[in-house]
Structure 1
Amino acid sequence: MPAAILARDLVKTYPKGVRALDRLSLTVEPGEIVGLLGPNGAGKSTTVKILTTLTRADSGHAEVMGHDVTRAPGRARAAIGVVAQRGGLDPAASGRENLTLQGHLFGLRGAGLRRRVGELLERFDLTGAADRPTRDWSGGMQRRLDVAMGLVHRPEVLFLDEPTTGLDPEARTALWREIKGLTGLAILLTTHYLDEADRLADRLVIVDGGRVVAEGSPDRLKGELRGDAVHIEIPETANGPQARAALTGLPMLREVTLDGMRLSARADDGAAAVPAALAALDARGIGVATVTVARPSLDDVYLRHAGRRLEVSA
């Protein structure tokens, strides 16, 4: 069986020499959920646009379920469902009407389409509101309908672009349950939420500057960061580079980074390393706002490979 998604050495350059993708490669196997992480401008959106046939790479090769996205875009589109970040609902139409229209776009008609619409409304717990205009629905209900619309033609691959942006915690958790329940589908998930990636993804692909800088399961990537994570916030009036230099010289700390006014480092024993770190900063007249010691998180993984923290867009 071919990979559900296969991309090899994708290159895409926009006007004024902006290289969005720089020989990016990734795979998603059937039934696998892969989280695509990276800051704005890292190449996530361009990758998804190429894989969903909305734009062409300058060079490289991409397939969806064995269909070349450039040579056979129609076959590729038939195999995929896409849930865009901003959604595609007609607010004046009911949930049932939105699903029916989506089915028509894929050539579905008659009793088969009606059965499929009913199945999806029930599957996503939307039957009670099915015949009301979607503009009157909650944000969580609208987002569940967006996902249902992406599934109406029974795709083999689903693209989820920032699926929970703007949702409250309860609605996010409910949608996570729905996504985890989509067994058998290959899913490429783009997200800015590291807790979402940790919860949903079987494997993560971290991109920065148009390249893959790390990939692996969440547990494996966190496990590569042995020991504890030590984070020290210093006042805005402090000299950040000087503070970083003070900690870099300590033998019990490694991988010292400065992101804004936050110093981060690795330590075999974080609690034991903190007094020495505070003393080194105090010797240079640098105060400390907060100190935390924790086990490695995806935030630490991202910081290690991208050199900065993942900022969540508004």
Structure 2
Amino acid sequence: MSPIISVSNLTKSYASGFTALKGIDLDINRGEIFALLGPNGAGKTTMISIICGIANATSGKVTVDGHDIARDYRAARSLIGLVPQELHTDAFESVWATVSFSRGLFGKPKNPALIEKILKDLSLWDKKDNKIITLSGGMKRRVMIAKALSHEPQILFLDEPTAGVDVELRKGMWEVVRTLRAAGVTVILTTHYIEEAEEMADRIGVINKGEIILIEEKTKLMEQLGKKQLKLYLQGKVTEIPASLAHYNLELAADGHQLIYSYDTKSERTGITSLLGDLRESGIRFSDLDTTQSSLEDIFVSLVRK
């Protein structure tokens, strides 16, 4: 299946000499949730703005479902819904009017039933007659999502969509995202809540200083770069690690009552089984144990630092 978005050698430079994007190559698959992660200033919003037709590229090519965004921009943009990072909407319009107007901008016929469904899905139905200026920040964010969905796009860009949204509403918004993906909508999101990307995304892309440094399926990324720790709580105090256990690179806690074994997911089963057997042989006994696993956030921070 051909990608629904294809980015080839995309570059964005400014007159000042600053280059925001440096030869980006990226394919986004139809129907997936793709999380684009990166620190502030990495180029995430710049790339999204170019794909959505808000900014112009210096060089490179972008196609949306086969439509070149420069030559066939109307067809390309009609397929895209964008929820920008900043809140931009008419403060004195009602929720119903501004969402309906957004649908009309794309030449779509009126569809009150669809607008009603979108507002109900986003818990905005009871606010449909309220003016935007009277809404909280989280509700305004949901109005932006409703506007982006009003013309039934095949692709939805969510640029920091849950900024300023409380935990309960955030969970509700992600249920909407799951429903959209189930209906075949491709979702591209940027977020500073990396645990959301860990829970939601099918694939992860990491961008830093205008360059894509990694693109991988989330499960494979967690398997390849994730680290685990096994912490053993010892029955008695140990002053030093026996030489027979040296090859495990164990860490002894300062109080002498804990041993910490770090390992990757590939060696999990054989490494732990072997370690526990060798501990028994060395006479070290433990009363309890627990394991921890590095999160996507740990992996992300490590990649960016490198």
TM-score exceeds 0.5: yes
1:62 corresponds to: 62
Q: CA deviation at 1:229?
A: 6.1
Note if contact 2:12-2:59 (Cα within 8 Å) is conserved in structure 1: yes
Deviations 1:35-79 (A, max 9, x none): 000011211111111101122222221111111111111111111
CA deviations 1:106-156 (Å, max 9, x no partner) are: 1234xx332332232233232222112132233333222211110111111
Tell me the distance in 2 between the aligned counterparts of 1:222 and 1:169.
Answer: 25
Q: Distance in 2 between matches of 1:88 and 1:66?
A: 29
Give the whole-Å Cα distance in 2 for the aligned partners of 1:107 and 1:25: 32
Aligned equivalent of 2:262, options 267, 285, 289? 267
User: Mind listing any 5+ residue stretches in structure 1 that lack a counterpart?
Assistant: 231-249, 254-265, 270-292, 309-314
Instruction: Map residues 70-109 of structure 1 onto 2, 5 A cutoff.
Output: 70-109=70-109
| CA–CA separation in structure 2 for the residues paired with 1:22 and 1:165 | 27
Which residue of structure 2 aligns with residue 48 of structure 1? 48
Partners of 2:86 and 2:76 in 1: CA distance: 22
In the TM superposition, what whole-angstrom CA distance separates every residue of 1:156-180 from its partner, at most 9, and x where no partner exists?
Answer: 1111110011122222222222222
* Contact 1:44–1:207 (CA under 8 A) maintained in structure 2: yes
Shift in Å, 1:301 = 1.3
**Deviations for 1:242-295, whole angstroms, at most 9, x for unmatched residues?**
xxxxxxxx9838xxxxxxxxxxxx9329xxxxxxxxxxxxxxxxxxxxxxx831
Residue 147 (structure 1) aligns with: 145
What is aligned with 2:158? 160
The answer to whether the Cα contact below 8 Å between 2:122 and 2:173 also exists between their aligned partners in 1 is no
**CA separation of 1:225/1:189 partners in 2, compared to 1, >3 Å: closer, same or farther?**
same
Count of residue correspondences: 253
User: Equivalent residue for 1:22?
Assistant: 22
Cα deviation for residue 226 of structure 1 reads: 5.2
The 3-state SS of whatever aligns with 1:41 is: coil
| CA apart distance, 1:82 | 0.7
Aligned to 2:34: 34
Secondary structure (helix, strand or coil) at the match of 1:141 reads: helix
- Determine the structure 2 residue equivalent to 1:8: 8
- Amino acid in structure 2 at the alignment position of 1:80: I
Q: How does the TM-score come out when normalised to structure 1? A: 0.74
Residue 159 of structure 1 aligns to a residue in which SS? strand
State how far apart, in whole Å, the 2-side matches of 1:77 and 1:227 are: 41
Extract unaligned runs of 5+ from structure 2: 231-246, 251-260, 265-290
Distance 1:227 1:44 in 2: 27
1:102-251 to structure 2, matched below 5 A, reads 102-109=102-109, 112-183=110-181, 184-225=184-225, 227-228=227-228
Structure 1's 151 and 226: CA in aligned 2 closer, same or farther, altered over 3 A? closer
Q: Are 2:299 and 1:304 equivalent residues in the alignment?
A: no
Which amino acid is the alignment partner of residue 25 of structure 2? Answer: S
Matches of 1:227 and 1:306 in 2, distance apart? 17
Quick one: which of 238, 249, 254 aligns to 1:252? 249
